[in-house]
A and B are shown apart, each in its own frame.
Chain A
Amino acid sequence: MGTSVPAIEGWFTTDPEPALLGTRCRVCGTAFFPRETTLCRNPHCNGTDDELAEVRLPRTGRVWSYTDARYQPPPPYIPRTDPYEPFALAAVELDHEGMVVLGQVADGFGCDDLSIGAPMELVIEPLYVSDDGSTTYTTWKWRPLGAGSSPEVAR
């Protein structure tokens, strides 16, 4: 096995209970993902960069909607397999944050396994593999809560 690295640095943790990393404004409490580091974007708040602190966002939520990608997306998407294998996408409303975050759906799950309002949890799984196969680039994905482990390469 080669090494496993996040496809994008600083957006999520890779511990056994992984979470998205955002920022939260200390003044008004609004959280941002992807992280906002310039100014609080709540127009009624005057929070500056000093007030935006890194936060682990809730790793569970409920499905807002879902779809799939039957055709290979164009670059800069990097397909994981050749031939291309479709994947599902879910928009999940995070518990307690009133924020919907898009993500691919975990390996082995498709639209038939999803419904609006269904509980989901965040997992870290492969997004694509380097040409020489030595490095697996990982990302966050949504998995139906209580569905157990999917094939795990990421940790």
Chain B
Amino acid sequence: MSARDDVFVAGVGMHPWGKWGRSFVSYGVAAARAALADAGLTWSDVQYCVGGETVRNGYPGYVAGATFAQALGWNGARVATSYAACATGAQALDTARTRILAGLCDVALVVGADTTPKGFLAPNAGDRPDDADWLRFRVLGATNPAYFGLYARRRIDLHGATVEDFAAVKVKNSRHGLANPNARYRKAVTAEEVLASPVVADPLHLLDICATSDGGAAVVLVSSGFARARGLVSASASVRLRAVSTVTPTFPKTIVDLPDIATDSTVAVSPPEVGFRGAIARAAYEEAGVGPEDLSLAEVYDLSTALELDWYEDIGLCKVGEAEQLVRGGETSLGGRIPVNPSGGLACFGEAVPAQALAQVCEVTWQLRGEASGRQVEGAAVGLTANQGLFGHGSAVILTR
């Protein structure tokens, strides 16, 4: 891809994660105002507003871009709404940066927020026998944790992982999140507590699996010309958005991903050399012109503790089968070689789907600015976010100082 101008992250903001029980709109606008204040800009400066769609909150959620724009007070900005399951925030970010790179606007606001129900995430009501997400519940009783259990079991049987390794990821992330003011859970958890919690989907315990949360996150992106004109380039706001990968899988996809009932057949075409999660990260590295060895930190989607270990391999921190060694050696803890989830990750936040990929970007931004109080990765210069969601969605974002 040809060299191009940078897009700058001028401001980030979040509404704390929790189970607040209010409208998602209130979290979104709180995050948006925080991000605008962080950027030193006002809502009237925003020319383009992209909302991350939430599918659980009716029409206001389906038209999130317009919902947030109306709640902030119509200002004439153009709007868009993105849906990409767990990658929703990154897809929204990609939409905004692309419009900036096309020269069609200078200031874009990206907002994601959610209000989630208690318990297992489940399909919306109604009989929909043509909908894979409905079918996997009706015909199989396969919840999200069931899929996480399948992946975790493979780590145990193929790579020698133990339930103690999985618990170590929770212990690490719970410590990382202790001082994070936006985290929902700020309590140190011991391995004994993880292993004493009930098994949900063998071999995973309740404390291995992330909760669902309410929360909101927002990012203000600006063009390089605007950043220079406003003197943002040399200031603390000089965080560059270097890559946004939203690649889809390559046929044949050989992992049973949510909400699939079966994989693609490999009879006619051999599987790709790199699996879907690996391809998500690879595309981001190629776009940014950096590699895993350049990373100062990573925020990855620990829907389960075991899945965080899969990500270590998928984003290239180690070879396949070696992730357990990283966590055992403390290499992915704060102070280690490559801290992963310094924010505390989903273990401390719980998932607020359309906000989560943006929350990852907020954390990396604070880390790159040296503002991640109580959880700072010293000298952070390059950060990567990664996640995977339903229906062939996933994303990785790379930010640099």
Contacts and interface: CB of A to CB of B under 8 A. Distances in A.
Contact of B122 (A41, A74, A116): A74
Contact of A74 (B137, B140, B152, B256): B137
A1 interface: no
Contacts of A75: 122, 125, 137
B150 A65 contact: yes
A120 B119 CA distance: 32
A153 interface: no
A146 interface: no
Given A8-B129, A76-B134, A78-B138, A99 B264 contact: yes
A2 interface: no
Contacts of A7: 138-139
A32 B266 CA distance: 11
B375 interface: no
B268 A70 contact: no
Interface string A26-55: 001111111000000111110000000000
Given A33-B262, A74-B119, A115-B157, A42 B251 contact: yes
Contact of A29 (B151, B254, B268): B268
A127 interface: yes
Contacts of B152: 67
Main secondary structure of the interface of A (DSSP, over half): loop
A76 B252 CA distance: 29
B320 interface: no
B265 A30 contact: yes
22 contacts: A29-B267, A30-B265, A34-B135, A42-B268, A64-B256, A67-B149, A67-B150, A67-B201, A68-B201, A69-B142, A70-B201, A71-B143, A77-B138, A89-B146, A89-B149, A97-B265, A98-B267, A99-B263, A100-B263, A101-B263, A102-B142, A102-B256
Interface of B: 119-120, 122-123, 125, 127, 129, 134-143, 146, 149-154, 157-158, 198-204, 251-252, 254, 256, 260-269
